[in-house]
Structure formats: C-alpha cells, structure tokens
A and B are shown apart, each in its own frame.
Chain A
Amino acid sequence: MTITNAAPGGRAASAPLLGRESEPTMFEMSVPGRSSFQLRTTRVPATPLDQLVPSEHLNDDVVPLAELSERDLVAHFTRLSHRQFSVDLGAYPLGSCTMKYNPKFCDAVAADPGLNTVHPGVPGELAQGWLELLVTLEEKLCVITGMSAATLQPAAGAAGELTGLLLMRAFHEKNGDVRTRVLIPDSAHGTNPASVTLGGYEVTTIPSNDRGLVDLDALKAALGPDVAGIMLTNPNTVGLFEEEIVEIAHAVHDVGGLLYYDGANLNAILGAVRPGDMGFDIVHMNLHKTFATPHGGGGPGAGPVAVSSRLADFLPGPKAARTESGAFEWRRPVHSIGRTHGWHGNAMVLARALAYIDVHGGDGLTRVSQHAVLNANWLRKRLEKTLPSAYDRICMHECVLSATKLKDAYGVRGLDVAKALLEEGFHAPTVYFPLIVEEALMFEPTETESPQTLEALALAIERIEERAQSDPEGLHRAPQTTPVSRVDEARAARNLIATEDAANRH
C-alpha cells in the first residue's frame, strides 16, 4: 500500500523536547522564607505543640523541604514535563508494554468526586456504587478471560503473579499436596521467576525450540508430581502464539499441576481466544496495558487475577459481592489467602478500565486485538529487509526483529537503532529482550497507531539504516537532539547519588 500523508499523528519530531541545559532541582530553586501553601481557616484552638505531644517525641530539628513560590513550582514541573516522552506526545512502540492511547474519557470518569472522595474504610452500604463497579468489572474480566471469579486487589502485574502463585500454593496445600517447582519458559518476563521465588517455589526453566515456542518434549521431561504448575505468556514474549497450548495444558494437568497465564500479552487475543478455554487455571491481567489505563511513568497499574471455579474459594478478601436483593456487600472467600493490598487495590485504575471496557463492548474489544495484530504484522513485513524478524511467520500483537544484519555489516547494534529512533521522534522499541533472540528489537505498535504513523516509523528506521552505512560512529553517539544524550550508567551505579543530599552541590 502507498501511504503519502506526510504528517503522521504518531511521530513527535516537532515536539518541544527542550533541554540544551539541565533543569535545576527544586532544592536548588529554593529560597528560604518563600512558600506557596494555603490552608483552610479552621478556628481550631491553637494549642502549642509542646502541650499536645510529650517532649521526647518532638523533633528538635526541622525537616527541610524546598521553599518555592507557586509560580516557580509550576514552572519547574512544566519544564520537567517538557523533558519527558509520553504516549500523548508520540508513538511508543515498546514491545511487551502495550503503550496504546489512553482515552481521556476514562481519566475523567476516575476524577469524579463521587468515586475519588470515598474513604476506603466506609461500610459497604456507603459505597454501593463502588462495590457495584468492582463486581461488574470482575464479571466482565471473567467473560473476557473465560474464568469464574477474580480478585481486583493486586496493584500491578507482578503483584498479580505473586497472588496467583499463593493461590496455587493454597490450592495444593488444601489438597494435602506438597509441590516444590514451577516451570517457566526461557523467554519469560523477569517478574515470573522473581515471583516464583517469593511464592516459595523453585524455578525450572524450559527451553524454547527453534520456532520460538515452548519445547513440548523438554516440558514433558520436566514434569512430575513435584510440579506445582507452569507460568506461560500466550502469545509468548516473542509475540508468537503457543500453538501446542492444548497439549501443554493436558500434560501439566495430568501431573496435577496448574496453568498460570501471564496476561502481559492479553491485548493480542481479545475476542479471539480465552485463557480459560485454553486450559489455564489462573490468569493475571495488566489493566495498564490491555485496558488502556495510563502507565503513569511506571505505575500505578492494576493486576487483577481471575481463576477457574476450583480456585475461587482461595481468592484474597474481602471482595465485593452481589447479594440476592441486588445490593452489594463485602465477603471473604471461605479459604481466602488473605489481603494482598492495604485496601481494595488500585481502585481508580479499576474504574478507568471498566469505562474502557464499556465503551468498547465485546465487539470493540475484538476489533482492538484484530487491529493490534494487523499493525504488528504490517510493520514486521514492512521492515523485513532492514530488520528481519527473528521468526519469519505471522506474529500476534508484537514482533521481535533483530539488528544482527546491521551489526554484522556496519557494527551498528540494536541499542544504536533504538537510540537513533529517539532522535526521529519515536520512542524506542524494547531492546535485548527476550534474551533468547540476538540483538532483539521488540516492536509493539498497538492498535491506536495509524498506518501513516507506522509508515513514518518504517521510514525512520530506513534512514537509520542509511546512517549505519554512511556514519556508523554517529549512530553510536545517538541521540543528540534529546534533552540529554547517552548517560553514564556505570558512574551512576559506582557512585550512588540517589538524593540531593548525596549530591554535594557546593
């Protein structure tokens, strides 16, 4: 197809990423005696502090914070925001992260005082709207994943993983079953093995075959009565659907193990196939990926965990439930593993996700995945001459390309390509993950980017290939047009300066 539009929406090359100079810290801007706070007039008796609190508790020193005018505070954080790439600014094809457009409507829903001024400890009858919201979201997530019940408490994907592993543990223990190992493919996200350790299990790594999929024979060889379960991402982290999932599920279930579905890549399969139908027993979802809640620069996310009926009684509590009269109340599942969050989870994220699901409906969610998969495959094929795919076949919502060709020909590595893309007005893809692909560049364009944006991305990569030929040294120094150029990471680790007080600015 020919795309002629010269002004694609997703390319941020015109954006004001300022910063020839660094922005001072708020502490450097501070002037003693300046302030911006204003508090309510309360007319509460102004009892002196030493009559309120025994002296042994009082701090003789004052904890120093920055002292700024409101105008300087606004300038500071506005300028910081100009030194930051974001989805709203341009395309963010970061593989495995599903950085799709975050609808503003969903943010507006969560900003409603009827939701965000409710104290989490109020009795259920004072939060009937919230409880209905939670129950409705749980029901819809169960429809989407093909599961029976869910907890909404986990605050992010990794929290969901650990919750899922504790459910696995509780289930086996209830059956008087002692199991010690959890299987994980070698392509898995790092959170999987880290969560397994915290869940009290040992990791057994299963190799991938040359098609990028779980090696079924190796899997079967690793199975035994000591296996608690397997954690799988499907499509997996190279963006490929595990086509032998039915055989995998049978094999794991045959030894009494459970299947855990890492929902990091759920955006590929909405309305096409459900984890429950594939045989999974436990599923976590990253609402900040698939259901478009904004990522916040690294959270808040939300990582609900849905389970099949045989695990429902173990879910964390308390949990919102529908009563026979149509009202809502808190209940604890009979064999609950207990709370996994201080309150009810990242409630505002949950509200945004429900708004997103309701706008799309079943039909819209299906289209989301169709377009995500279409975009990824189009980009994979469009780039096949410059960055050949690690696995030359239909991918799902993301594709793992490799920079080995550029490396062999010009000494330009995947990292150089990623950094040069930043100069081109695009966020970089995920670099060097998964570990099983050499010079991996994982692109996840997401469904909300237009064909014009994808074409502009492809053209940018072709320009980088030309630079690799003409000026490979220049690419090693990219990016130069960003707020800072490549940073000295070794120095940061060697000489840790994690606070202003460690910086010794004088």
Chain B
Amino acid sequence: MADYLPHTQDEVDAMLAFLGMTSFEQLFDHIPAAVRLSQGLDLPAGQSEPDVADYFSRLTRANKGQSSLLTCFAGAGAYDHEVPAVVKMLGSRSEFVTAYTPYQPEVAQGVLQAIFEYQTMVARLSGLPIANASLYDGATALVEALNMAAGATQRQKMVISSGVHPHWREVAKTFAAGTGHEILEVPLANGVTQWDSVDMGDAAAVIAAYPNYLGVLEDLTAAKRHSVAHDALFVIAADPVAAGVLKTAGQWGADVFVGEGQPFGTPLAFGGPYLGLFACSTDQVRRLPGRIVGETVDSSDRRAFVTTLRAREQDIRREKATSNVCTNQTLMAVTAAIQLGWLGTQGLREVALRCAQGARYLFDEACKVDGVTPANRAPFFREFALRLPKSANEVLRAMCDDGVLGGLSVGELCHGDDPSIEHGENVVLVTVTERRTVEQIDHYVDTLRKVVR
C-alpha cells in the first residue's frame, strides 16, 4: 500500500460527494463493461521504497560490467569521461530535472537560456552556424540528417560510409523502411572509405564519419568533392571531443553535422539517455528537425529566450512537419552545457589531447604483443582496432577475469557480415579516455599478452 497520493479518505469522500458520487467506480462507469478490467492488474502489490531498493541492489550486483569492477577500454560512441561533482550536482537540480518543455517562456528562462548556450557550443564544435536543442542520440540524429537531405534535394539515395557506426547505419535502414530512402553503404579498405567504388549518381546525401567507428581519421576531401559534384548534402558524423584538437565538420565542408553528445557529462548509463547533436548550414535552417531556441526581448525590452521557427514542428505543421520529434533530450543538453562550461576552451583541448596520447601509448604497446596486429594502418585519434589471433569475444571474456573491459568485438557491433571489415569477429575496438592511467594501460597489455598466448 505505497504511493505518493496526498488525499485522505475523508477528502476523497468529500470530493466524490461534490460530484454526486459515492465511489471511484462511478467515475469509470461510462467505460463499456465488456472491456473493463474486473480483477485489477495482475501485478504484485506495492512495496515500500526500502523494499524495492533491496531488489534493485540485487540487480545492480549482478552487473559484473560496472566500472568499479572493470576498467573501461570500451567506446564505440559511449565513453568513460570524467564527470565532476559540480556537473552532477548542477545537472541534477530539480528545477532542470522536473520542468516540462519550455512552452511558457515567462517561467522557463532557465532551461531556454541553458539550451541557447548549448546550441552556441554545438555550433562552434561543429564549425556550422546553427544547432538545434538536441535529438535522442547520435543514431537518430543521423536519421534526421537523412530526412533533411531528402527534403533539400527531393532525392532518396543516401551514400553512407560503412565507417559510420554499425548501429547508426542499422537505425538508418530501419527508418528507411518508412521514408523510402535507399541506403547505399560504401565499403572500407584498410579502414578507409572507398568512395570511388560506388555509383554516386542521384545521391541526396554523402555521409562520412570522423573519426570513423574503427577510430580512423579519414581525409574527407574526396567525400566533400563527391557531394559537391552530385549536388548532395555532405553530412559528417563526428566525435565532438575530437573538435578539441581536430578539424571541425564545418572545416571539412559539411552541410550537416551529427554526433553523439554522451561524452559531455552523461555517464555510460547502459546506453541512454544520451544526446543527439545536430548542426547545419544556414540554408537548411527551415528544414531543421525539432526545437530551436532563439534570443528575443520581452515586452519591457529585456533579453529573453524562446523556442522559435515553430512552424516547422509537428504540433503546428502536423503531417508536413520536418520531423515528428517532440520530447527530446533537454536535460542531457543542459548537462552538456554545464560540462563544457566546466571544461572551457583549455579543458576540452586537454581532454582530446590526453585521449589521443593514451590511445597511442596503448596501441604501440599492444602491437608488441605476439599475434596482435593493427586492423589497419590508417591514422587514428582516440580509438583503434586490433586484429587478434583468436575470437575477440573469447579474449575480451578472459580479460574480464583480470578486471579489464578490453574493448568491444567488432563482429558483435556489426551483427554479421559488414562492408566495413572482414572477419570482424577477430577484431577488437579499443578506446582510451583521459581517465586511463599508465598503470591501467600497462595492466591491459599484460592481460592481453597472457590471454592471447
């Protein structure tokens, strides 16, 4: 008998009497008896919070993959970055956590301004002028980019590098069943997209990843050239942390940037809620999906923020909307704004540099292990692929016994054969963040050596 209802029985009786009723049942009398639930819900009775907490403790203990038990070298779009106490505490302020979508700007300036600051930073990190207020995650942000490209070009063919994260490509294919988009995956060779191997004719979008999911930094000049030659939008799915040191999507000539914003203040959290980053060029702004916050003034000429260009959105444009997205990931966007405020210019640069330094150190040491070779010879940033002498799953499972989450199996990520790599089941994708110490990396190498022997 647990709940959060304030009503006393006397109050319930009085409220029912006000309606001329004597029981709750009368409120539901107009529902056809044929479909009424006569027995109540077949669920256990309510329990107190401490009782439910005991159940959850049992569940959490069964998660052997939690970071206190395994040192995380897994990435693929979900990264173990530092999230300081100040970000956790500010991001869990209940005014941000328990607010609704800011439809009443007079009492929502807090969330609106935080989104405006977030949009500013996403725009700068992408090198593009306009960012939206967030989407669900990187994969669904990619889908919105394809919809934008189809709207801009009135064409359906999406030429996508298979260096784009396999899960994102799968999500794009799932939604293409409804939109009718043709998803043409361009194979990789030695970790690099073979743009010349496919027919680009009639392309609506050319989509590249930077770095690609195997960690490789591809020169995107050719991809940009193809997109211009075919009058297609150039979409870059980029790691936003890379923008701390590497060229931005805008500098590579992107019309649209999409990314996974989890690295900015969101824990690994078993994959969600994460944060879909989306930015684009000015000429696509009327096709932007979801919400966008703009600056204006109130009736006393004070600065104010408000959701704007609303005529694109589903609640107004209905079946002609640019997207169906309504609830997005605002709290993660606010958290990202706080985290980026904490990092500042120098902090983001430092995080990016340390990721690259750690990754290079581990790569060099791991490649000295007998039987372990690089999966490709291309340059990388913070993540790389190693080919192992046996199944990656087998190796990763054995490494767990020594407290190391050694990465992710490319074969598992790809769910079967994939144009990005051959025999991915023997390839492990390894990530190093700024949180990994030299001792942890050395331990990784020792463990790997022991396990592949």
Cβ-based interface call for A175 (8 A): no
**Residues of the B chain whose Cβ atoms lie less than 8 Å from the Cβ of A252:** none
What is the bound-complex CA distance between A347 and B85, given in angstroms?
A: 22
Question: Which 6 A-B residue pairings sit nearest by Cβ, starting from the closest?
Answer: A114-B60, A343-B271, A120-B271, A84-B110, A296-B331, A361-B46
Q: How many residues on chain A are close to B (CB under 8 Å)?
A: 207
Least CB separation from A51: chain B residue: B360
Is A58 a contact of B2 with CB atoms below 8 Å? no
Is B45 a contact of A49 with CB atoms below 8 Å? no
Minimum distance in angstroms from B109 CB to a CB of chain A: 4
**Residues of the B chain whose Cβ atoms lie less than 8 Å from the Cβ of A166:** 174-175, 177-178
With A1-B18, A64-B345, A200-B180 already in contact, the answer to whether A485 and B43 are too (CB < 8 A) is no
Is A35 a contact of B356 with CB atoms below 8 Å? no
Cβ-based interface call for A383 (8 A): no
Is B78 a contact of A120 with CB atoms below 8 Å? yes
Is A381 a contact of B19 with CB atoms below 8 Å? yes
Is A45 a contact of B357 with CB atoms below 8 Å? yes
Is A87 a contact of B140 with CB atoms below 8 Å? no
Is B341 a contact of A198 with CB atoms below 8 Å? no
Is A122 a contact of B405 with CB atoms below 8 Å? yes
Is A272 a contact of B140 with CB atoms below 8 Å? no
Is B31 a contact of A363 with CB atoms below 8 Å? no
What is the bound-complex CA distance between A67 and B342, given in angstroms?
A: 8
With A65-B124, A84-B99 already in contact, the answer to whether A341 and B139 are too (CB < 8 A) is yes
Is B327 a contact of A156 with CB atoms below 8 Å? yes
With A37-B346, A127-B65, A156-B327 already in contact, the answer to whether A482 and B178 are too (CB < 8 A) is no
**Residues of the A chain whose Cβ atoms lie less than 8 Å from the Cβ of B315:** 189-191, 433
Cβ-based interface call for A14 (8 A): no
**Residues of the A chain whose Cβ atoms lie less than 8 Å from the Cβ of B317:** 190, 194
Is A43 a contact of B245 with CB atoms below 8 Å? no
A162-B178, A500-B120 are known; give 12 further A-B pairs, CB within 8 A: A34-B344, A66-B341, A129-B58, A165-B178, A197-B320, A274-B37, A292-B4, A294-B98, A296-B96, A300-B332, A343-B272, A365-B43
Is B117 a contact of A26 with CB atoms below 8 Å? yes
Is B272 a contact of A344 with CB atoms below 8 Å? yes
Cβ-based interface call for B74 (8 A): yes
Is A489 a contact of B296 with CB atoms below 8 Å? yes
Contact among B34, B35, B294 with A492 in the assembled complex (CB-CB below 8 Å):
B294
Partner-contacting stretch, out of A103-111, A217-225, A398-406, A465-473:
A103-111
B33-86 interface with A by 8 A CB criterion: 34-37, 40-49, 52-53, 55-68, 70, 72, 74, 76-78, 80, 82, 84, 86
**Residues of the A chain whose Cβ atoms lie less than 8 Å from the Cβ of B344:** 34-37, 65-68
What is the bound-complex CA distance between A484 and B347, given in angstroms?
A: 34
Partner-contacting stretch, out of B193-201, B225-233, B300-308:
B300-308
Q: How many residues on chain B are close to A (CB under 8 Å)?
A: 211
Is B272 a contact of A67 with CB atoms below 8 Å? no
**Residues of the B chain whose Cβ atoms lie less than 8 Å from the Cβ of A343:** 78, 137, 167, 270-272, 274
Is A125 a contact of B105 with CB atoms below 8 Å? no
Minimum distance in angstroms from B202 CB to a CB of chain A: 20
Least CB separation from B106: chain A residue: A482
With A73-B338, A155-B140 already in contact, the answer to whether A487 and B304 are too (CB < 8 A) is yes
Partner-contacting stretch, out of A240-248, A253-261, A304-312:
A240-248
With A44-B361, A86-B99, A364-B3 already in contact, the answer to whether A140 and B43 are too (CB < 8 A) is yes
Is B97 a contact of A294 with CB atoms below 8 Å? yes
**Residues of the A chain whose Cβ atoms lie less than 8 Å from the Cβ of B326:** 156-158, 189-191
What is the bound-complex CA distance between A77 and B340, given in angstroms?
A: 13
With A155-B137, A341-B136, A374-B24 already in contact, the answer to whether A85 and B52 are too (CB < 8 A) is no
Is A297 a contact of B101 with CB atoms below 8 Å? yes
Cβ-based interface call for B420 (8 A): no
Q: Mark B98-120, 1 if CB is under 8 A from A, else 0.
A: 11111011111111011011011
What is the bound-complex CA distance between A73 and B89, given in angstroms?
A: 12
Cβ-based interface call for A23 (8 A): yes
